[in-house]
Amino acid sequence: MTVYFDNAATTPLDPEVLDAMLPFMRDHFGNPSSIHGHGRQVRAAIENARKTIAHLINAAPAEIVFTSCGTEADNYAAFGSIRTLGLRHAITSPLEHHAVLHTLQALEKAGDIQLSYVRHDEQGRLDLGHLEDLLASHQGRTFVSLMHANNEIGNLNDIQTIGEVCQRHNAVFHTDTVQTMGHYQLDVQKIKTDFLVGSAHKFHGPKGVGFLYRRSGVLVDSLIHGGSQERNQRAGTENVYGIVGLAKALEIACRGMAEHQHHIQGLKDRFIQKLRAEIDGVAFNGTSAEADHSLYTVLNVSLPPSDMNEMLLFNLDINRVSVSGGSACTSGANAGSHVLHALGADQNRGAIRFSMSKYNTAEEVDYAVEQLAKMYRKEPLKI
């Protein structure tokens, strides 16, 4: 058996999404900026996709800007609003994805902003009282970026309350919803966010395409210059079949959301039960084992100190279990997880992120736990 539990990094493409994309790979090849029939046909597909996405998050079509990925969308929101609006203060947390952290740190290094960090406890829960204090203590408008769900430990943040706090202080609020888009019903009219982000490959769409929701009236300069595409908001020829696939994937995800959540939460509960039964001393990082406070697709496991931990992911891989230790964007680095480091996690314990999708099964959960348990019982591994 070969199992894949790294869906927070990327998900397999839904066959229905591929079917929607294929005509635009083979037959409908026109440039959407061309005024002839071939171009108009493709332009119509892009605008239909924009309308679909806008409808699903309760936005206006003009508020959707297509990008190459979630990282670009995060950069666009941060650079665009801070530099266009002349903001001099930004607030984030040490637990954010590097697409946000590194971007804001680069703006701070360039002298554009003063950067503040919201406090959190040892489980990664944000102190929203501290957020309010930080906003109240600075004159002028502030840029706030706090994610909906942490991509490594699965903690869910109350972005509706955060949005209300930001609104009280006239702050610009950006939330990275890359991990929750397609998994939770997101209504931008209720959240009160100015920017929100999605990336297709996190919900069974194609890689290389995402979008930024930008609330109407929040005017920011383009991050990429050189053309009038995306209503002068992002230059460059559109990734047409990616955009079509993005819209289709989000439509499918929203259509089956309740069913998929029930199925995946059941797998996560099974993981927790089996791991506790099979491995003495196992624990869980953040709030990932708390159903009401964590992303149901992510379980971050803290394993007992062992000489097995250094080769943990490698040994699981050779036993045909694909998992990660944290964000895929930092998997080539040896510095470890910045999220677990910020939580003060014991560096002698191994950490694994299991992330699940609608395609996973109970049998795969049992197999993954069995392989991991063998390592800690020091039984011979099957290679």
Can you tell me which residue has the tokens 């002028």?
A: 140
CB of 259 closer than 8 Å to CB of 60: no
Exposure on the CB side of residue 117, measured as CA atoms within 13 A: 14
DSSP of 50-97: HHHHHHHHT--GGGEEEESSHHHHHHHHHHHHHHHHT--EEEE-TTS-
Q: Is 329 among the residues known to form the active site?
A: yes
φ, ψ of residue 170 in degrees (nearest 5): 55, 35
Alpha carbons 193 and 136: distance in angstroms, whole number:
19
Three-class secondary structure of residue 361 per DSSP: coil
CB of 329 closer than 8 Å to CB of 10: no
Burial class (CB in 10 A: 0-12, 13-18, 19+), 192: middle
Exposure on the CB side of residue 327, measured as CA atoms within 13 A: 21
CA end-to-end distance (rounded Å), the chain: 12
Q: How many CB atoms lie within 10 A of CB 319?
A: 20
Q: Which is catalytic among the residues 69, 166, 254, 329?
A: 329
CB of 42 closer than 8 Å to CB of 32: yes
Residue 14's contacts (CB-CB under 8 Å, 6 or more residues apart) are: 204, 205, 248, 249, 252
Where in the sequence numbering do the catalytic residues fall?
Answer: 329
